[in-house]
Amino acid sequence: MPMVRMRLIGNRNDADTVINALHGIDGIEHVEEVDDLTPMMRDDSSSSELVDDSEGNVYYVEVNAPNALHADAVRAVAEVEAGQLDMGVEFVDEF
C-alpha cells in the first residue's frame, strides 16, 4: 500500500481545504495530518530570520493509497488544490 507524504505550506484554512479534497478521492480511506514534534531549520537557509522562513505554516500530511494509480491521483489533486489556493506543496519520502 503506497504512502504519500507531503508538506503543505500556507494557512490553516487552505490546508484543511486540501485535506478535505484528498478525503474526497474514491478509494482513499486514510488521510492524516501528522504533528511535527521537532522544529527544524530548512536545509537551504543560512539564517532562520529570512522572510520566507517566517511566513506561512507547514502542515505534514500522510495519505495511504491502495495502489500506485490512487497515489498518483492524490499527488495530482494536492497539486491542483494547492495551486488554486496559492499554497506550496512538497512531496517527500519521509518527514
Architecture of domain 3-92: 2-Layer Sandwich (3.30)
Q: Can you give the residue ranges of every domain in the chain?
A: 3-92
- pLDDT tens readout for residues 27-67: 998 999 998 655 555 555 555 545 455 567 999 999 999 99
- Distance, CA of 68 to CA of 9 (rounded, Å): 25
Instruction: Report pLDDT digits (tens) over 2-15.
Output: 999 999 999 999 99
Contact, 21 vs 63, CB < 8 A?
A: no
Cβ burial, residue 14 (10 Å; 0-12/13-18/19+): buried
